[in-house]
């Protein structure tokens, strides 16, 4: 019955109906700026409001835009599709700012977008429990390439594309005006910048960086190294998942792999874990993790920290026949894009197979992937393969994702980069 409904002609027509842009479609000749014409047929994803124009979709460019310039994206017949930021070097030639021909891309446009992003987050319930929040999540907030995280009174900006780079000072001014932080710090040192031909940048943009920055979430306090920590200093996306782990840790032997500054470990300790072994390859991260345990007056005698490669450490523990009741695997991005998926899949399978083998009967595995190039489906298949090879039966008890301050725009599913599974192995 359902199937019939889904395949009815009317439904199919609706499915392909473009979202309303400004009608009637403006012709390209009416724009002063440079124009990008896409090949016939390649306008489809834009009509579905996917915000990227890949280099392969570009038929020709009229004018000589520089990286960061706003260009009009047009279909093959010259009809207006979107205003976008141009990037000469990236595989993604343009990223969309607006779908409306009458929209000017100027400071007022950014003020409106940033205001919208802030007001959406103000309504989130955890906003009352945490002073750490992702304020702007790139494409998902209509601002491609712009990531903004807030840690108490410090705002960290990360500009990952040439189009965002152009508006750096405008956005910093608006954030200063709307949020009035003590400091706006720029951490534009992600790998994606090299693909856009942009230099790395790391430093104060506005105000003064306080001696120390702390973020409090669900009553736990974490020191955040804004200048030297990974990404923008802390992994806000795992907030809810850390809290979930904490509620399940009572009396358990916990293993936290890729622990960074101790996020999951602190929740487990507070949740009454019997022991928590945390492993990370970064000594600086572990130093901060130990400090975080002290900051929260947690019992450090139940915590052990190991600076090691997780792949090797898991093998060693398997050979020693070590066992745990709850294991967290939260590795770094193995596959930034789909091109890396195969190699990444081997890495995920390896650690998950070993992790499953280290669990006692009835034990819990919280396993994550933050790779944009690995879909939910593929991730689940990899984990199923790992369980099969380990000879272990397991159930999915929860599907996990990033916290609500990392929203996913329906027309941009790539925004759902973080996926996780909570598994219970057979008792």
Binding mask 303-322 for ligand SAH (x = CB under 6 A): ------xxx-----------
Residue in 33, 131, 190, 230 binding ligand SAH, rule: CB under 6 A: 230
Q: Which stretch binds ligand SAH (CB under 6 A): 28-36, 79-87, 213-221, 254-262?
A: 254-262
Distances (CA, A) of 242 to 88, 160, 343: 40, 27, 28
Q: What angle do CA 229, 172, 124 make, to 5 degrees?
A: 70
Pull the structure tokens for residue 74. 């047009």
Residue in 144, 263, 373, 407 binding ligand SAH, rule: CB under 6 A: 263
How far is it, in rounded angstroms, from Cα 175 to Cα 404?
20
Which CB sits closer to ligand SAH, 75 or 330? 330
Closest-approach residue to ligand SAH (CB): 263
Q: Which stretch binds ligand SAH (CB under 6 A): 40-48, 72-80, 118-126, 327-335?
A: 327-335
Distant-in-sequence, close-in-space partners of 86: CB < 8 Å, separation ≥ 6: 34, 36, 65, 66, 67, 68, 69, 70, 71, 93, 94, 162, 163
Please tell me whether residue 130 binds ligand SAH under the rule CB under 6 A. no
Residue in 165, 280, 405, 414 binding ligand SAH, rule: CB under 6 A: 280
Please tell me whether residue 366 binds ligand SAH under the rule CB under 6 A. no
Q: Which stretch binds ligand SAH (CB under 6 A): 21-29, 78-86, 235-243, 247-255?
A: 235-243
Q: Which residues are catalytic?
A: 370
Which CB sits closer to ligand SAH, 331 or 407? 331
How far is it, in rounded angstroms, from Cα 154 to Cα 419?
28
Residue in 151, 264, 305, 334 binding ligand SAH, rule: CB under 6 A: 264
Count the alpha carbons within 13 Å of 51 in the hemisphere toward its beta carbon: 26
Which CB sits closer to ligand SAH, 132 or 363? 132
Q: Which stretch binds ligand SAH (CB under 6 A): 182-190, 274-282, 380-388, 389-397?
A: 274-282
Provide the minimum distance between the beta carbon of 392 and ligand SAH in the complex, in angstroms, as a whole number. 23
Please report which helix (H) or strand (E) contains residue 427, including its range.
none
Please tell me whether residue 210 binds ligand SAH under the rule CB under 6 A. no
Count the alpha carbons within 13 Å of 77 in the hemisphere toward its beta carbon: 5
Backbone angles phi, psi at 118, to 5 degrees: -65, -40
Which CB sits closer to ligand SAH, 347 or 385? 347
Q: Verify cis geometry, omega within 30 degrees of 0, for the bond prior to 109.
A: no
Pull the structure tokens for residue 31. 């724009």
Q: Which stretch binds ligand SAH (CB under 6 A): 8-16, 73-81, 162-170, 277-285?
A: 277-285
Please tell me whether residue 37 binds ligand SAH under the rule CB under 6 A. no
- Burial zone of 333 (CB within 10 Å; 0-12 exposed, 13-18 middle, 19+ buried): middle
Provide the minimum distance between the beta carbon of 366 and ligand SAH in the complex, in angstroms, as a whole number. 10
Please report which helix (H) or strand (E) contains residue 26, including its range.
none
Residue with tokens 């932080």: 181
- Burial zone of 170 (CB within 10 Å; 0-12 exposed, 13-18 middle, 19+ buried): middle
Provide the minimum distance between the beta carbon of 236 and ligand SAH in the complex, in angstroms, as a whole number. 9
Chain residues that interact with ligand SAH, rule: CB under 6 A:
230, 235, 238, 242, 258, 260-261, 263-264, 279-282, 285, 309-311, 330-332
């Amino acid at each position: 019955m359902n199937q019939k409904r889904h395949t009815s002609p009317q439904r199919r027509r609706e499915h392909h109906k473009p979202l309303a842009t400004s009608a009637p479609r403006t012709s390209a000749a009416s724009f002063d700026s440079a124009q990008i014409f896409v090949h016939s047929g390649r306008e489809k994803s834009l009509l579905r409001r996917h915000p990227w124009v890949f280099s392969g979709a570009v038929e020709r460019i009229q004018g000589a835009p520089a990286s960061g310039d706003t260009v009009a994206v047009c279909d093959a017949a010259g009809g207006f599709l979107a205003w976008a930021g141009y990037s000469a070097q990236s595989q993604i030639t343009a990223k969309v700012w607006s779908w409306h021909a009458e929209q000017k891309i100027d400071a007022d446009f950014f003020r409106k977008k940033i205001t919208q992003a802030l007001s959406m987050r103000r309504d989130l319930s955890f906003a009352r429990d945490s002073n750490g929040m992702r304020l702007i999540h790139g494409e998902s907030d209509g601002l491609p390439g712009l990531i903004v995280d807030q840690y108490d009174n410090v705002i960290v900006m990360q500009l990952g594309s040439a189009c965002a780079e152009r508006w750096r000072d405008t956005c910093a001014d608006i954030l200063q005006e709307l949020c009035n932080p003590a400091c706006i710090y720029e951490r534009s040192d992600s790998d994606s910048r090299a693909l856009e031909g942009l230099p790395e940048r790391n430093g104060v943009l506005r105000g003064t960086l306080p001696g120390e920055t702390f973020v409090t979430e669900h009553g736990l306090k974490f020191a955040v190294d804004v200048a030297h920590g990974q990404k923008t200093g802390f992994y806000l996306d795992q907030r809810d998942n850390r809290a979930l782990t904490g509620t399940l840790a009572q009396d358990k032997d916990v293993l936290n792999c890729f622990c960074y500054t101790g996020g999951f470990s602190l929740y487990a300790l507070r949740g009454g874990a019997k022991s928590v072994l945390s492993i990370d390859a970064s000594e600086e991260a572990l130093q901060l993790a130990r400090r975080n345990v002290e900051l929260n007056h947690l019992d450090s005698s139940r915590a052990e920290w190991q600076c090691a490669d997780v792949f090797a450490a898991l093998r060693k523990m398997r050979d020693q026949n070590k066992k745990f009741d709850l294991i967290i695997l939260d590795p770094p991005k193995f596959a930034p894009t789909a091109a890396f998926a195969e190699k990444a899949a081997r890495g995920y399978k390896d650690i998950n197979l070993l992790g499953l083998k280290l669990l006692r009967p009835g034990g819990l595995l919280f396993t994550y992937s933050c790779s944009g190039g690995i879909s939910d489906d593929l991730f689940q298949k990899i984990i199923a393969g790992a369980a099969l090879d380990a000879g272990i039966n397991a159930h999915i008890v929860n599907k996990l994702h990033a916290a609500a301050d990392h929203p996913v725009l329906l027309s941009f599913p790539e925004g759902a980069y973080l996926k996780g599974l909570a598994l219970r192995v057979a008792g």
